[in-house]
Amino acid sequence: MKLMRAGDSHEIEAEVISRDGTTIRVRIGDRELAAEFTPNADGGGILAIAGRRYPVFSARRKDSIFVSVGPTSFEFKPAEVAARRRARGLAAAEIIAPMPGKVLKVLVRDGDLVEAGQALVVIEAMKMETTLAAESAAMVKQVRVEEGQTVDHGAVLIELSPPPASTARESAPRAD
């Protein structure tokens, strides 16, 4: 199974190899981990790995698997969901609203060539301005929003296409 952490473009291969009572073997990439899981009455449990014990809770909701390890919160998504949004040669084919908010500024126009890290659109959500930038070099295929417009979580703000070959740069997706 391939998982991705929310907000991360890095795929994680994870697989339960065996489960015998409380003893669980899990493969993560090319590593194999032995864990002991003891359920608690509160719906979570204690996960013991490499001599350390962690209180963990986990639940599925919509596309996500939420996990807490002590106070640390995680959100995982199956990699297929994230992969759907990818296009060849681009880190991301679409600039998506990370949450509902208002579009304050659109900084590019259809047909613009943009570089990795270049600011594309500024949105305001939860009283904060957030600038969304290109993750790789690209051409702006279509700007789908206007300044002042209110957008929902997941709304496509800008569509990108691969840059024309002559201007394409060796530009890997940024490692978050």
Partner 1 sequence: MGRPLKKLLVANRGEIALRIIRSARLFGLKTVAVYSAADAQSAHVGAADEAIAIGPAEAAKSYLDIAAIIAAAKQSGADAIHPGYGFLSERPEFAQAVADARMVFVGPRPAVMAALGDKVAARRIAIAARVPVVPGIETAEISAAREFATVAGYPILIKAAASGGGRGMRVVAEAAQLEGALEAAAREAAAAFGDGRIFIEKYLAHPRHIEIQILGDEHGAVVALAERDCSIQRRHQKIIEESPAPGLSDKMRAKMIDAALNLARAANYTNVGTVEFLVEGHNFYFLEVNARLQVEHPVTEMRFGCDLVCEQLKIASGGKVAEPPAPRGAAIECRINAEDPEHDFRPATGTVLHLSVPGGPGVRFDSHMTRGAEVTPWYDGLLGKLVCYGANREEARGRLVNALGELALLGVTNNAAYLRDIVATEQFRDARLSTHFIDEFFSAWKIDAAEIDSAIVAAAITATDPQTENAAPRTGTDPPSPWDALHNFELWGSRR
Query: Does residue 149 belong to the site contacting partner 1 (CB under 8 A)?
Result: no
Question: To the nearest whole angstrom, how small is the minimum distance from the Cβ of residue 84 to partner 1?
Answer: 18
Helix, strand counts (H, E) of the chain: 1, 16
Find the binder of partner 1 among 61, 84, 88, 109 (CB under 8 A).
61
Return the DSSP state at 8. -
In single-letter form, the type of residue at position 166 comes to S
Question: How many residues form the binding site for partner 1 (CB under 8 A)?
Answer: 61
Query: Does residue 9 belong to the site contacting partner 1 (CB under 8 A)?
Result: no
Quote the tokens at residue 76: 């995982």
- 3-state secondary structure string across 66-102: EEEECCEEEEEEEHHHHHCCCECCECCCEEECCCCEE
Query: Does residue 151 belong to the site contacting partner 1 (CB under 8 A)?
Result: no
Which positions ≥6 away from 88 have C-beta within 8 Å? Answer: 162
| Binding segment toward partner 1, per CB under 8 A, in 81-89, 96-104, 137-145, 160-168 | 96-104
| Binding segment toward partner 1, per CB under 8 A, in 44-52, 80-88, 140-148, 165-173 | 44-52
Question: To the nearest whole angstrom, how small is the minimum distance from the Cβ of residue 78 to partner 1?
Answer: 8
Query: Does residue 41 belong to the site contacting partner 1 (CB under 8 A)?
Result: no
How long, in residues, is the chain? 176
> What spatial distance separates the first Cα and last Cα of the chain, rounded to whole Å?
22
| Binding segment toward partner 1, per CB under 8 A, in 43-51, 86-94, 156-164, 167-175 | 43-51
- Indicate the burial class of 140 (C-beta count within 10 angstroms; 0-12, 13-18, 19 or more): buried
Is the CA virtual torsion 114, 117, 122, 123 positive or negative?
positive
Query: Does residue 175 belong to the site contacting partner 1 (CB under 8 A)?
Result: no
Residues that bind partner 1 (CB under 8 A): 1, 3, 6-8, 12, 14-16, 19, 21, 24, 26, 28, 33, 35, 37, 39, 42-45, 47, 49-50, 52, 54-61, 65-76, 78, 98-101, 104, 124-130, 153, 176
